[in-house]
Structure 1
Amino acid sequence: MAGVTRTPTGLTQGSTAPAGIGASTLRPDGTLKVTGEFAYASDMWHEDMLWGHTLRSTVAHAEIVTLDTSEALATPGVYAVLTYDDLPTEVKHYGLEVQDTPVLADGRVRHHGEPVALVAADHPETARRAAAKIKVEYAELPVVTDEASATAEGAPLVHDRRTDHHAAHVPHPNIVHRQPIVRGDADAAAGRADVVVTGDYVFGMQDQAFLGPESGLAVPAEDGGVDLYVATQWLHADLRQIAPVLGLPEEKVRMTLSGVGGAFGGREDLSMQIHGCLLALRTGKPVKIVYNRFESFFGHVHRHPARLHYEHGATKDGRLTHVRCRIVLDGGAYASSSPAVVGNAASLAVGPYVVDDVAIEALALYSNNPPCGAMRGFGAVQACFAYEAQMDKVAAELGMDPVEFRRINAMEQGTVMPTGQPVDSPAPVAELLRRVKAMPLPPEQQWVTTEGADIRALPGGLSNTTHGEDVVRGVGYAVGIKNVGFSEGFDDYSTARVRLEAVGGEPVVTVHTAMAEVGQGGVTVHAQIARTELGVQQVTIHPADTQVGSAGSTSASRQTYMTGGAVKNTCEAVREKVLQRGRERFGAYHPAWATAELLLEGGKVVTDGGEVLADLADVLGEEAVDLELEFRHRPTEPFDLRTGQGRGHVQYSFAAHRAVVEVDTALGLVKVVELACAQDVGKALNPLSVVGQIQGGTTQGLGVAVMEEILVDPATAKVRNPSFTDYLIPTILDTPTIPVDVLELADEAAPYGLRGIGEAPTLSSTPAVLAAIRDATGLELNRTPVRPEHLTGN
């Protein structure tokens, strides 16, 4: 890639790169990644390092009767074996919102694959063999696997009542969080409905399936601290949880982001971070931990599986009268971010529609299933699957076109959400539906060529199972709403440090944030913002670490808004400081220096009329301008725990999809031919990256529609398919064409008018695919993913 070089301090985008925002600037890490030159966390190396390995539980719920590590410790090459009793401080638990997760099993395991012991050895195979020699005797306990077993009288408690993990507002200790939302009078409104439709829906557990497994390198320091190089989504949240367990002040736990191979929410919670640091501090040597793919399935949280019951009412002219729903999310053994996921699911449960009378309840369970937490879409995905199926069912009952029915009820700017919060920025739901429906449909029977059938385009693909005899086509539509940014009163802020200096007579900008680049392209956008605001082409992105203020999590579609906003604000302050310096040095020689309309363009100070006043390098001289500032969005507030009312969200994003599928009704095979998308992005700071994000989110929604599900044995709570052999994700042969129509309606409260985009397409792609399969087959199909037996009845 022209103009991109790897530097010791980070990634530099050189003078051949486009100038700033609005340009499809290529990623500085793109070529490095596709050529295999990019250093991921698993590629890190230290010449005298040890290898760490985790022993995990083989059962889902049990007391640990005995734990014998003597044989492992006696293994040649083993430097340390740690259990819960070896932890150095009284702080032995951690968690994003609730500190309920033990660093190592605290005498009891609560899910299959829970960490029980750690081993450090001079070779990874030695560490694995030693871990296998640890003898653990379990006394198995009854498992909690669903709402019935969690809340029944006498149900076993996942967490003891004596802990502080149980909130006062929940009706049972095995419920993590409950959020009702009540607005208007749904019971009275139901009496005015001409049509009432109900449905029960099941949403499967999805894995983030990121490319790079969990990995990191912990290096003990001379000051008694530790340096941790790790693939994560939120450096400062990791730091907040790690330091107390180690018994160190935060300034002695120095964290640097290493190469991240995708995240999608699966790296918000800790995995190997504390374990690696513990082993490094115990042995006095660097320790590297890299999960294999099998271990990765147990090493991070997944998307919450859900059961959802909905009731929709409508008048005969197509106006929604009311919505009642109940959403039960399975949070697994530990809280993770389940409380926030519940808030999202509840507050967005109605979808992007005008409904004055609602009665909503959402809750998350503690169970002995795998822990669940953040994943792209964060509670809104499960709700969208159900409410969009309901919209199709109501339209069919009324004899209306499903798209027209949605447009009649579509929200717009000024609509009041079920939480009582007005939507104060563009909400072009009807327009997105119009646009996606207007896109040209793919040709019929596209697998037929002059030479015969192209089996790659048929259901079943290269397996050559069908030649099209029983293949039927279906078309389906869906639209969704997703919040942007942290919500419910969370202090959501981001920090950026910007340094502008003259190097070799040329101005150079260095942007330093703690933003985790996980593949979303933030490093590209930050450089574009700096070029736009400071008029300097040479921009270096400093590696993300904890030596600068927090950037928050790379999640919630927030980083371009929040850290981009921080970079923008800091650049503006740097620019003003540079101009003030110029006024002091050169103002006496040219009266134009007195105007407030001076600009930095092309490495020069110019007037708004284009007159050059000075080279920027001359203004800077030998003294750099270096500032670090925070940025906050508009404040939010918690939802009321009785009514759900409150201004809980800062911004909303919207996407609509049209799916075209072909189904072999005899074999139960599905081929998604096309997933067209229309989405409002506010302002496309990098159009190429925007389309990539939309297509990526669309593909993840496709996966959960037709193939992705972690299967858990309902009797034992054990994971049955922890590998990519049995957990299927879409390949290039499964991925359809994804035409994208980008709409730009600015949010005046957001930097550049932008709108977070990464999650919204994951919502509507799944129900659009299901709607298309229903259209092709006439089947009800109320669960994800759709399997062949659901289509054939076998």
Structure 2
Amino acid sequence: MEGRGARIGEAAPRPDGLLKATGGFAYSSDLWAAGMLWGATVRSPHPHARIVRIDTAEALALPGVHAVLTHADVPGRKLHGAMVVDQPVLAMDTVRFHGEPVAVLAADHPATARRAAALVRVVYEVLPPLTDPDSALAPDAVRVQPQGNLVRHVRVRRGAAQRGELPHADVVVRGEYETGVQDQAFLSPESGMAVPAADGGVDLHVATQWIHVDHEQVAASLALPGEKVRVRLAGVGGAFGAREDLSMHVHACLLALRTDRPVKMCYSREESFLGHAHRHPARMTYEHGATREGKLVYVKADIILDGGAYASSSPAVTGTVATCSVGPYEVEHVRVDVRTVYTHNPPSGAMRGFGAVQTCFGYESQMDRLARALDLDPVEVRTRNAVRQGSVVANGQVLDHPAPVAELLGRLRAMPLPRQEAAPSGSATAALCMGTPVPGRVVRGVGFAAGLKNVGFVEGFDDYSTARVVLELHEGLPRVRVRTAAAEVGQGLVTLQAQIARTELDVETVLVEQGDSGFGDAGPTSSARQSYVTGGAVKAAAEAVRTRVLRRADELLAGAGQGPAAGVSRGAVVDGNGAVLLDLAKVLAEGAVAETVEWHHRPTRPLDDGTGQGDSVFQFAFSAHRAVVDVDVELGLVRVVALDCVQDVGRAMNPPALRGQLHGGSAQGLGLALMEEILLERGEVRTTSFTDYHLPTTADVPRMRTEILECADAHAPYGLRGAGEMPHVTSPAAVAAAVRDATGRALARLPVRPEDILGLHHRKEDPA
């Protein structure tokens, strides 16, 4: 992709924007190859069962079917997992969740593949599922995994809690909170194509968030050396964490190698709901103690996360929940226990916010309870306790970068509230839709929330990215080529890489090339890390290129008694005053200049096993939201009138794209607050389409005011701060707070349902 013009801090148009807007962009589901076959998956209809027998004969006899494979056909490692290798490529003797893959097949037409999948006969011995996370650690609980049902337990102990006690507080508030299962609901379901290669290996084109970890897992299951498996990024239609785990990757490769034909797999929406990990549902018990003046004395919390049948990203999510459990507030004494457990519910894993979303709802609900108990303004009680640079957070880490939480809240409070129109004639529901409250029935509420979350990988993980920058002559003019293996999933990383190269080398034409598994690792597109880490790698590589160019220019200038060269500007080498010394084309006439850099962020260390203390995070991000809602208290309907956001981003790299991130994350949080939830019934998924799983539409999302603070982090490239996750962390809590303000009800569960507003708490569904 080629871009021209914009530098860091300027508006840069997306090179793929027009294609996506007009339908011309090629997503992974658009892949095609001559002679390709279509893959399909046979899935378990039970959340827990023993596999007695698999009969593939009838499916294989169907004309057009070329292969049917089970776990016995996996030549290498039969398990996969990015963090814990515990999930079967295809179920072996037991299925542990509804929708688990049992067999895969390839046919010459997608309809034939679906018919053949229905003809694979699997005999199950149905077993009782464990679906309640609260009972998963009971001594008599069914074991989901052989090693037991505990994925990870993180203890956080600060201050007096390290001695097993907590100090006296003048005011104590307690609450129990719960969040449901949210789906990433991306535009394009899981899809890709595997193509057998002449060397006996395979080329996999797939929509993913981390090329290299996919590559390692696929090669291990295929029993092939790494050089014979090549993973290439296909067009990604959204991710939000769900593409961090394998889906059809190994399946398509197995079928391609067995049939010696290209094999394409593309999930239906129902399969997508069944086939990837979702946000962890959480149950949280909080206790906050404070002085009469509203200063926090201690926080105590017990949090249970349902990890589902396999580990996925649960170990890391558990650590994030613990680290973020107290929020952006100064608290000297902390006692927090976070446990993630295995159940026979579908696996939980990465989703935007990565555990910080659930805790924000918990601790911000508590801050509102505290404000009511003290008769204080909700913003005031938050401001009195807000962290700042130099504060110590829950994991004992000193914030050595800006943390302007009080300013975020102050700016939100200073924003004018939307005007409240007079009630019209007609029904109250129509009035609600028009944003015109009816006295006594449609009530307005205002809610605030502030939050924090780590950027990037934590707890001693060596997080890095690799970039290659080449400065060359192309058709007589300087051109920069940038290559990384970082996954562009819609966040605009391709644009950012071009902006960085253009800023550092001041060359107009920049070509960003997509790397594959044969190029250096760039880590995952997750945890708001790519701008920081891959951006840092591109910056460092471009700086190294510039240094070499100037050295070469000095050699050329020395003979003419000129120099020294001080920089590159507008296609020329210049001195310290900006005067042109030499045309850049003359320097490059001797050949291109290229540098490859592996760039690492600041080191972190693991949390202490006993206290949860340690400098585990290299950067924290902060945001705040204010929500204004109108609630029909007779029907339980909610209309979000305003959802305003203030966020510190360190440095706005591409302001329009950044605002898009703030808007998108806020809207996704609104969905969790009011409508998005996957419902389970004894482990069986009952929400398998967008008819049942409700997403916010343009009618639900209000106009949003955003303010961007740029408090530079001296440790980060350009001072930037990861920004993509934070809007989703704080917006659900703000919307819930506003509904709570309007109704006076506790509303301790997300999403808030009409029956909660009406006080009808009985639910037919069994939420995960």
TM over 0.5: yes
2:37 touches 2:262 (CA, 8 Å); kept in 1? Answer: yes
* 1:790 is the counterpart of 2:765: no
Render the CA deviation track for 1:127-184: whole Å, top value 9, x for unaligned: 11001000011111111112343122321111124xxxxxxxxxxx101001001011
Change (3 A) 1:618 1:446: farther
* 1:696 is the counterpart of 2:696: no
- Aligned runs of 1:2-81 on 2, under 5 Å? 11-14=1-4, 17-18=5-6, 20-81=7-68
Q: Which residue in the other structure is 1:780 paired with?
A: 746
Two-structure CA RMSD over aligned residues (Å)? 1.7
Q: CA deviation at 1:251?
A: 1.4
Render the CA deviation track for 1:242-293: whole Å, top value 9, x for unaligned: 1011111111111111110000001000111111111111111100000011
Measure, in 2, the Cα distance between the counterparts of 1:487 and 1:583.
Answer: 43
Measure, in 2, the Cα distance between the counterparts of 1:664 and 1:724.
Answer: 25
Q: Which residue in the other structure is 1:169 paired with?
A: none
3-state secondary structure, aligned to 1:525: helix
1:488 touches 1:639 (CA, 8 Å); kept in 2? Answer: yes
Amino acid at match of 1:502: L
- Aligned runs of 1:240-259 on 2, under 5 Å? 240-259=216-235
Change (3 A) 1:543 1:666: same
Change (3 A) 1:272 1:455: farther
Q: CA deviation at 1:573?
A: 0.4
* 1:352 is the counterpart of 2:316: no
3-state secondary structure, aligned to 1:298: helix
3-state secondary structure, aligned to 1:138: strand
Amino acid at match of 1:725: T
2:8 touches 2:499 (CA, 8 Å); kept in 1? Answer: yes
Amino acid at match of 2:16: D
- Aligned runs of 1:369-768 on 2, under 5 Å? 369-445=345-421, 459=432, 470-592=441-563, 594-595=564-565, 598-621=566-589, 623-713=591-681, 716-768=682-734
Among candidates 101, 108, 112, match of residue 94 of structure 2 = 108
Q: Which residue in the other structure is 1:156 paired with?
A: 142
1:458 touches 1:671 (CA, 8 Å); kept in 2? Answer: no
Measure, in 1, the Cα distance between the counterparts of 2:641 and 2:82.
Answer: 40
* 1:133 is the counterpart of 2:105: no
3-state secondary structure, aligned to 1:591: coil
1:456 touches 1:733 (CA, 8 Å); kept in 2? Answer: no
Q: Which residue in the other structure is 1:181 paired with?
A: 156
2:184 touches 2:351 (CA, 8 Å); kept in 1? Answer: yes
Measure, in 1, the Cα distance between the counterparts of 2:595 and 2:336.
Answer: 46
Q: CA deviation at 1:500?
A: 1.1
Amino acid at match of 2:697: T
Amino acid at match of 2:546: R
3-state secondary structure, aligned to 1:26: coil
Amino acid at match of 2:746: E
Render the CA deviation track for 1:632-669: whole Å, top value 9, x for unaligned: 01000110111111111010000011000000000000
Amino acid at match of 2:631: V
Q: CA deviation at 1:185?
A: 1.3
Change (3 A) 1:312 1:456: same
Q: CA deviation at 1:453?
A: 7.8
Q: Which residue in the other structure is 2:251 paired with?
A: 275
Unaligned runs of 5+ in 2: 761-768
- Aligned runs of 1:173-212 on 2, under 5 Å? 173-186=148-161, 190-212=166-188
Amino acid at match of 2:757: L
TM-score, normalized by length of structure 2?
Answer: 0.97
Amino acid at match of 2:280: H
1:496 touches 1:628 (CA, 8 Å); kept in 2? Answer: yes
Q: CA deviation at 1:427?
A: 0.3
* 1:289 is the counterpart of 2:265: yes
Q: Which residue in the other structure is 2:763 paired with?
A: none
How many pairs were matched up? Answer: 759
Q: CA deviation at 1:586?
A: 2.8
3-state secondary structure, aligned to 2:444: strand
Q: Which residue in the other structure is 2:107 paired with?
A: 121
Q: Which residue in the other structure is 2:765 paired with?
A: none
2:428 touches 2:441 (CA, 8 Å); kept in 1? Answer: no
Q: CA deviation at 1:419?
A: 1.6
Measure, in 1, the Cα distance between the counterparts of 2:311 and 2:385.
Answer: 36
3-state secondary structure, aligned to 1:509: strand
Measure, in 2, the Cα distance between the counterparts of 1:654 and 1:711.
Answer: 31
Amino acid at match of 1:140: V
1:501 touches 1:622 (CA, 8 Å); kept in 2? Answer: no
TM-score, normalized by length of structure 1?
Answer: 0.94
Measure, in 1, the Cα distance between the counterparts of 2:333 and 2:430.
Answer: 45
Amino acid at match of 1:412: R
Measure, in 2, the Cα distance between the counterparts of 1:570 and 1:28.
Answer: 22
Q: CA deviation at 1:581?
A: 1.5
Q: Which residue in the other structure is 1:93 paired with?
A: 79
3-state secondary structure, aligned to 2:312: coil
Render the CA deviation track for 1:33-53: whole Å, top value 9, x for unaligned: 000011100011101111001
Amino acid at match of 1:505: G
Sequence identity of aligned pairs in percent? 57
Among candidates 305, 310, 323, match of residue 329 of structure 1 = 305
Q: CA deviation at 1:622?
A: 5.2
1:490 touches 1:636 (CA, 8 Å); kept in 2? Answer: yes
1:447 touches 1:454 (CA, 8 Å); kept in 2? Answer: no
Measure, in 2, the Cα distance between the counterparts of 1:499 and 1:199.
Answer: 57
